[in-house]
């Protein structure tokens, strides 16, 4: 019959297959071969008490797990394994997202792969199973204690040949290059030019790139016309912890945290362009059409703001916000402020109507190019269909064909 952990792993893989998140074949065999519970010995569980939330430390015995903890490990849940202050700084990502990213990469046996962000080591072990030889996998982790913990788990599970580097992932791993695939498992503020140079011919980078307060997944490869440039396309939505090191804390959008603006007395106005109803009790950006408009806002305004109950625009001074909440625009202002929220709401409506005129494009409709900052971005004549985001190393140019 096997152990409780064996049964939990089998049900976990079957649930991923049934939901469509896992493709039978090589991917299925990899997930069956790598038991997720062997890569964690603790995590932090978020406990909500009314409006308050606290982190509960969970000590996990991977050799003799109890039923509740085992069920949590083998659910579609990210497991936060380290906190920096009150914010997560290391985790094991949601299995559905892990599977989806590996599927997008189209990894084949014999490929060399570089991972940016080791975490628990679980994803590196899956990569080793997919390429067929652990020595073909290298992974970089900036936090030394996290790297050491992953090293111990990988060694214990027979993946001693996977190379773990304690370093800033922005530099990649020149000694191990060229790589057929580079996968970042942290939210990035930019593409690193080192990663682009370390790709093999035909290689690809899967990058969760910050747009607003989400990290849509972009599949990136060198431009066929100029190897120092890159082209990319949106392939899925995601949200990650932000990268640390040289590319940390660079945010073209709102870089500060707004204090609580009172909802008491908030004003509402109708949305002139209909949007789908937000699912009660779920985050607003779980709906594809809301995500599509959010992505458009990330291109069109640096005032984008995304609290838990909606998304929209924020005043740079923190005086007011105008959010899409449900089927209305909600305006919240600091006491004594007048007019600022109405102007934000009008700007939000203007952008929504512009998105409507463009045909409500989904994120996969855009063409994306990365041009080194030493060059000047060259735009076409239709400014209504082009946007430029200034990043650390690159101009990100986004176009609607």
Q: Which of 78, 92, 93, 189 is catalytic?
A: 93
Give which of 232, 178, 226 is closest to 200, Cα–Cα: 178
Going from the C-alpha of 317 to that of each of 266, 297, 332, 341, 348, the distances in angstroms are: 18, 19, 13, 12, 17
Q: What is the largest CA-CA distance in the chain?
A: 68
- What is d(CA 224, CA 276) in angstroms, rounded to the nearest whole number? 39
The contacts of residue 304 (CB under 8 Å, 6+ apart) are: 212, 213, 253, 254, 294, 297, 298, 311, 312, 313, 314
Element (H, E) at 291: helix 288-300
Q: Is 75 a catalytic residue?
A: no
Q: Closest Cα to residue 99, out of 40, 44, 24, 169?
A: 24
Place of tokens 């509402």: 268
Q: Which helix (H) or strand (E) holds 59?
A: strand 52-59
Cα separation, 181 vs 348, whole angstroms: 39
Q: Are 112 and 118 in contact (CB under 8 A)?
A: no
Rounded distance between C-alpha atoms, residue 172 and residue 18, angstroms:
36
DSSP string, 206-237: EEEB-BTTB--EEEEEE-SS-TTSEEEEEEE-
- Rounded CA-CA distance 312/297 in Å is 8
Apex 30 CA angle, 201 and 198, nearest 5: 20
- Matching residue, tokens 């599949």: 219
Element (H, E) at 28: helix 26-33
Show which residues are catalytic. Answer: 93
């Amino acid at each position: 019959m096997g152990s409780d952990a064996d049964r939990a792993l089998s049900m976990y893989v079957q649930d991923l297959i049934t939901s469509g998140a896992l493709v039978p074949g090589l991917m299925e065999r990899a997930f069956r071969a790598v038991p997720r519970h062997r890569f964690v010995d603790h995590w932090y569980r978020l406990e909500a008490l009314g409006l308050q939330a606290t982190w509960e430390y969970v000590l996990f015995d991977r050799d003799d797990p109890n039923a509740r903890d085992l069920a949590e490990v083998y659910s579609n849940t990210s497991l936060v394994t380290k906190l920096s202050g009150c914010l997560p700084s290391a985790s094991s990502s949601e299995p559905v997202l892990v599977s989806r990213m590996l599927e997008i990469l189209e990894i084949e046996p014999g490929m060399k792969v570089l991972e940016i962000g080791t975490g628990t080591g679980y994803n590196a072990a899956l990569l080793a199973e997919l390429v067929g030889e652990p020595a073909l996998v290298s992974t970089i982790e900036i936090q030394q204690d996290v790297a050491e913990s992953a090293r111990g788990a990988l060694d214990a599970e027979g993946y001693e040949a996977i190379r773990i580097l304690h370093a800033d992932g922005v530099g990649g791993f020149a000694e191990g290059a060229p790589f057929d695939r580079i996968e970042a498992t942290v939210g990035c503020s930019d593409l690193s030019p080192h990663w682009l140079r370390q790709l093999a011919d035909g290689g690809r980078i899967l990058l969760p790139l910050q747009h607003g307060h989400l990290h849509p997944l972009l599949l990136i490869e060198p431009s066929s016309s100029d190897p120092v440039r890159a082209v990319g396309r949106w392939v899925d939505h995601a949200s990650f912890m932000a990268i640390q090191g040289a590319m940390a804390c660079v945010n073209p959008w709102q870089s500060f945290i707004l204090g609580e603006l009172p909802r008491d007395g908030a004003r509402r106005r109708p949305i002139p362009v209909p949007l789908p109803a937000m699912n009660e009790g779920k985050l607003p950006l779980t709906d594809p059409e809301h995500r599509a408009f959010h992505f458009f806002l990330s291109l069109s305004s640096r005032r984008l703001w995304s609290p838990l109950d909606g998304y929209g625009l924020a005043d740079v001074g923190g005086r007011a916000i105008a959010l899409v909440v449900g089927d209305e625009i909600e305006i919240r202002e600091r006491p004594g402020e007048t007019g600022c929220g109405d102007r934000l709401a009008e700007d939000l409506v203007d952008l929504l109507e512009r998105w409507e005129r463009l045909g409500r494009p989904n994120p996969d409709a855009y063409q994306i190019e990365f041009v080194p900052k030493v060059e000047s971005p060259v735009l076409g004549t239709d400014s209504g269909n082009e946007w430029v985001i200034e990043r650390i190393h690159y101009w990100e140019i986004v176009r609607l064909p």
